[in-house]
Chains A and B, each alone.
Chain A
Amino acid sequence: MRQDGVLAGYDPGNLFCEMLRPGEPPHSALSLLHERLRFLPVEALRRRAADAERDLLERGITFTVYSDATAIDRILPFDLIPRVITADEWRTLETGVIQRVRALNLFLYDVYHERKILADGVVPRELVLGNAAYREAMIGFDPPHGTYVHVCGTDIIRDDNGRFLVLEDNARTPSGVAYVVENRHMSLRVLSDLMAGLQVRSVDEYGLQLHRAMTEIAPAGVSDPQVVLLSPGIFNSAYFEHVFLAREMGVPLVEGRDLLVEDGRVWMRTTAGLAPVHTIYRRLDDDFLDPDAFRPDSQLGVRGLMEAWQRGAVSIANAVGTGVADDKAVYAYMPRIIRYYLNEDAILSNVDTRSCAEPEGLTYTLAHLHELVVKPVAESGGYGLLIGPHASKVELDEFRARLKANPANYISQPMVKLSVSPTLCDNGVKARHIDLRPFAVTGRDTWVLPGGLTRVALRAGSLVVNSSQGGGSKDTWVLA
């Protein structure tokens, strides 16, 4: 091994390393990649990383952070060392994600129709019907093909045994897929020598598949449906992704002010006058979608959209009210939900989760607080959570008080030692924790993009991969 090679001195300790995979039988593609990394000097990697960073900034592959009226374009830090998923692993992930999306859609159909799963006592009634994300407006509504979750981003981690575990379902408007494709383009630009000859599956098909799904769900009888992407606008932090998706689908990128409902139909304002719209892929939260139905102060939505949708004049993806399915408390019931509707065991396990709404869950959580991860059910982005083993005595005491005051707001999980990947840091190539978000697109059927967003916690020891909290990303190489 070269003394200055990328893997020289790299030590993941007793964590599961996705690159070295100790204990697994040798895998030819991985061995080839190891070899190449061993002969790539760290300084060369650092130069390429600097090139890549400048390139991302210049291309505006950025998210925008607003503070004090100034807009700062930040790139999602990109770590060049790829994350590899073998063909066998991918088969498990793909079937597991498809199974999960099916169950989510069946669950949503049920809770907005007969509510059998509630009547049968599998999921507590209050958890669903009392949920802030449950939308009365959706009761009795039949979306085409029974699909509510057209785009699903399932957050998946691996534990110290290399076992895949689902951490969270993102069934509202999951983001990040643009980075999957752009990271690949970047790899092809600056790392083609590392990739040469490896059978890495392409991620270029996403836009086509998304457009196909949007076409499939269009109102019946429309032969060449007009699809649009509805964005909150250029000031949204994910605007780059909206641009990316509109471009990849070849459809107009619109804002609420470009659309209107008239004569029960949805129209867009074009240079030629009003033109009909049939499917809306919206990247706007439920609350802002229609001031008549939800937040009356929303400037971003379209007045009357819900009514037009419910009459079948237009289709909207993802459906309204899916938040009740990706709720952190409902998540705890997902293995049972899968079994209930599909009569199958979950292919991908959950992290063992206790709901503090249940007395025994609360008792256990309070007793083991120092070894658990406790999350508020209504937060996202990694905010407001407690990582027991990393918390001080004072922090534990404070959190205990908060938990007792509102136990129903929390779930607890054992601290999973997330798998790691070699990552270029200021002080060399180090082991950093990663997760994975594959993207599943569903119209009539479900298709999973062979890849996904690998997020990496760039701070040493950190388990929080969110971009808002110092996370970066890696290219995800699914081997054929």
Chain B
Amino acid sequence: MSETVSASKHLIARQAGSALWLARYMERIENLARLLDVTKTFARDAEGGRNWLSLLRINDDTAAFFARHATPEGASVAHFYLLDAENPTSVQSAIRYARENARTLRALISTEMWLQINVFHGEIRALSAIDIVPEGLSGVCAMLKEGVQAHTGITEGTFYRDQCWHFYMMGRHLERADQMTRLIDTRFNALLPSAATDAAIDAGGWNELLRAAAGYHAYRREHPHGYVPREVAGFLLLNGAFPRSAGLSLAQLDWHLTTLRSRYHLRGCAPALTRLDHLRTMLASQTVDDILGRGLSPFLDWMQRELAALHDDIVTRLCGG
């Protein structure tokens, strides 16, 4: 790497944590927008209620949801995730936390990043019941996705790539890996054709799953012949070119951690690197068939726990707890 980046410049531990969280919260907004959008598109039939319920399951939100609403349907779930500032997993909360972390980091992030987050925050705060009627929901989801994509693009183009950027990027990849395991876990089994009924492949459902993951077109290109459950799982979990696959997120996480250790001499990277190494080995040493054979759900549960532990390793050892 260039000799002009000063490896001796210090980063305040607390601010490293803020960078990580900033990325996670922004990623969450895009993920939620994608999930809401596809769920709405595919929930028009009698199965609708079940689809909305599965969206709540992805985020472990069923208990919190039923404390506020009676029935999981488009209107109540959209309200819960888009307007409810009391719900900590809503976009209202996510943008508030993101902005608070960005405020903490204002001296380190670019002024363009701050400006865009600030304006985006205003747009999200201004959302009201009128905006999330069924005809409007897709527009809101598009606004949210575009807002995060603008953030991601501005970050790519303006954020100085010193330590702080590495922490930011680790947050992004941790969040993507985590979201992907949740997405697969909640949808995959429901889509598997039951052997007893020998039902046809549920093309619409697979389509929805891949669209929610922003991987539909890439998957088509890779597998033009149709949907094969093990190929979909392999694509979402292991594909090295799909930007949101769990495997690619982990590989990038590894690069950032390794750079922080070697270039910036952060000894606190060691536990996270050890854990990540194990996680990646477990993923790489198995074929999709191995994973499916042993049970996808237990494996994804284990991955989620490991990702949470990885986050904790990074935060406790590098970000001052």
Chain A positions within 8 Å of B, measured between CB atoms, are: 58-60, 226, 234, 239-240, 243, 246-247, 252-255, 257-258, 268-273, 275
Contact = CB atoms under 8 A, between A and B. Distances in A.
A271 B118 contact: no
Nearest to A249: B107
Contacts of B107: 243, 246-247, 252-253
Contacts of B167: 271
Q: Which of B14, B111, B163, B260 has the most CB of A within 10 A?
A: B14
A286 B135 CA distance: 58
Say whether chain A's binding surface is mostly helix, strand, loop, or mixed.
mixed
Given A254-B12, A269-B14, A271-B266, A60 B318 contact: no
B103 A270 contact: no
A398 to B, nearest CB: 43
A239 B103 contact: yes
B114 A59 contact: yes
Nearest to A62: B118
B115 A271 contact: no
Contacts of B16: 271
Contacts of B115: 58-60
Contact of B14 (A59, A240, A247, A257): A257
B65 to A, nearest CB: 26
Contact of B264 (A246, A257, A271): A271
Interface string B112-147: 001100110010000000000000000000000000
28 contacts: A58-B119, A58-B122, A59-B111, A59-B114, A59-B118, A60-B103, A60-B118, A234-B103, A234-B104, A239-B103, A246-B107, A247-B107, A252-B10, A252-B12, A253-B106, A258-B13, A269-B14, A270-B12, A270-B13, A271-B13, A271-B163, A271-B167, A271-B260, A271-B266, A272-B266, A273-B267, A273-B268, A275-B10
Given A59-B111, A252-B11, 10 more contacts: A60-B115, A243-B106, A243-B107, A247-B107, A269-B320, A270-B12, A271-B16, A271-B163, A272-B264, A272-B265
A271 B319 CA distance: 6
Contacts of A246: 107
B225 to A, nearest CB: 48
Contacts of A268: 10, 12
Contacts of A273: 267-268
Interface string B87-118: 00000000000001001101100010011001
Contacts of A270: 10-13
Nearest to A258: B12
Interface in B214-272: 260, 264-268
Among A239, A269, A270, the one with the most B-chain Cβ atoms within 10 Å of its Cβ is A270
Chain B, interface SS category? helix
A60 B121 CA distance: 12
B99 to A, nearest CB: 9
A423 to B, nearest CB: 27
A270 B266 CA distance: 10
Interface string B265-293: 11110000000000000000000000000
Interface size range on B against A:
20 to 34
A60 B260 CA distance: 31
B111 A272 contact: no
Contacts of B104: 234
Nearest to A54: B119
Contact of A271 (B114, B122, B318): B318
A69 to B, nearest CB: 13
Nearest to A245: B107
A109 B15 CA distance: 38
Interface string B1-43: 0000000001111111000000000000000000000000000
B168 to A, nearest CB: 13
A70 to B, nearest CB: 12
A30 B120 CA distance: 42
Nearest to B260: A271
B104 to A, nearest CB: 6
Contacts of A257: 14
Interface string B293-321: 00000000000000000000000001110
Nearest to B119: A58
A59 B111 CA distance: 8
A346 B60 CA distance: 71
Nearest to B106: A243
A275 B318 CA distance: 13
Contacts of B100: 234
A234 B13 CA distance: 16
Nearest to A234: B103
A206 B12 CA distance: 24
B186 to A, nearest CB: 35
Residue picked from A268, A269, A272, A275, most chain B C-beta under 10 Å: A272
A243 B111 CA distance: 11
B39 to A, nearest CB: 32
Interchain residue pairs A-B with the least CB separation, the first 3: A246-B107, A270-B10, A243-B106
Given A243-B106, A243-B107, A271-B319, A258 B14 contact: yes
B317 to A, nearest CB: 9
Contacts of B15: 252
Contacts of B266: 271-272
Contacts of B14: 255, 257-258, 269
A436 to B, nearest CB: 27
